[in-house]
Structures are given as structure tokens and as C-alpha cells.
């Protein structure tokens, strides 16, 4: 974050916790370029697959092969705009659009859950 940057406000809440990752819901009050990416990096929770703000891939200790492959094979930022709402630029009426999670994110969440279950089981032994 920059001292001379414009104000940017992001509200977030935990949706799901994994062993070494989290799924968050972010709501933006402002719409700055890279806003979510910058804020998550600042909190030391960079977004999976973010080459600019995320740094190199870090696998958690004892990651399952599925998780290692899933993280290595994820070729974009793990971001998804589930719902967007804005004022129409011509008539000013609210516009709301929603989209389901894409298949690659569904798969990433699956391997994160699988890895977390495997880790939990190994810790109980």
C-alpha cells in the first residue's frame, strides 16, 4: 500500500478455513485497481496464483500430492466475482449480475478440503 495512494476500503469475512489457506468473501466500498490483491498482500494473506502480489508458490508442510498438483496447476489468480452490483451508466438503475464458481476454483477448493482432512487425520494419530 502506498502512502500517496487513494483511499480503498475492503470488508472481508471468513467463508472457509483450510489447513494453510482460507476462502474469504470480500465486499468493496471502493473500486481501486488491484484493491483486493493489495489488501490481502498487506495482511500477509496473498491470493493463490497472484504473480504480482502473491510471491512464489509456497506448499504447506506435508501437502498431499493432490494439493501440490492443484496449486501448481492453478494458472490464474484465485479470485471470483460472485456478484457485481452497480448503477447502469445510462439510466442509473441498479444492475446486479451473478456467476457460479468456475470449475477450476471448485476443483481447487476440493483439493484444499481434501488436504485439510488428511492433515487433521494425521494429527490425530
Q: What is the pLDDT of residues 41-74, one digit of tens each?
A: 999 999 999 999 998 898 999 999 999 999 999 9
pLDDT at 4 over 90: no
Supply the pTM of this predicted model. 0.87
Of the pLDDT bands very low, low, confident and very high (cuts 50, 70, 90), residue 33 is confident
Q: What is the pLDDT of residues 86-119, one digit of tens each?
A: 999 999 999 999 999 999 999 999 999 999 999 9
The confidence score (pLDDT) of residue 124 equals 86
> Which burial class, exposed, middle or buried, applies to 120 when counting CB atoms under 10 A from its CB (0-12, 13-18, 19+)?
exposed
Q: Where are the alpha helices (DSSP H) in the chain?
A: 35-42, 65-73, 103-124
The confidence score (pLDDT) of residue 1 equals 59
Amino acid at each position: 500500500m502506498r502512502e500517496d495512494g487513494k483511499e480503498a476500503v475492503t470488508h472481508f469475512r471468513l467463508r472457509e478455513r483450510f489447513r494453510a489457506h482460507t476462502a474469504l468473501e470480500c465486499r468493496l466500498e471502493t473500486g481501486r485497481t488491484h484493491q483486493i490483491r493489495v489488501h490481502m498482500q498487506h495482511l500477509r494473506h496473498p491470493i493463490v496464483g497472484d504473480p504480482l502480489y502473491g510471491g512464489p508458490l509456497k506448499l504447506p508442510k506435508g501437502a498431499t500430492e493432490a494439493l501440490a498438483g492443484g496449486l501448481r496447476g492453478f494458472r490464474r489468480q484465485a479470485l471470483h466475482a460472485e456478484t457485481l452490483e452497480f448503477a447502469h451508466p445510462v439510466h442509473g438503475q441498479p444492475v446486479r449480475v451473478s456467476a457460479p464458481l468456475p470449475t477450476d476454483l471448485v476443483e481447487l477448493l476440493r483439493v484444499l478440503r481434501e488436504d485439510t482432512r488428511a492433515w487433521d487425520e494425521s494429527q490425530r494419530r
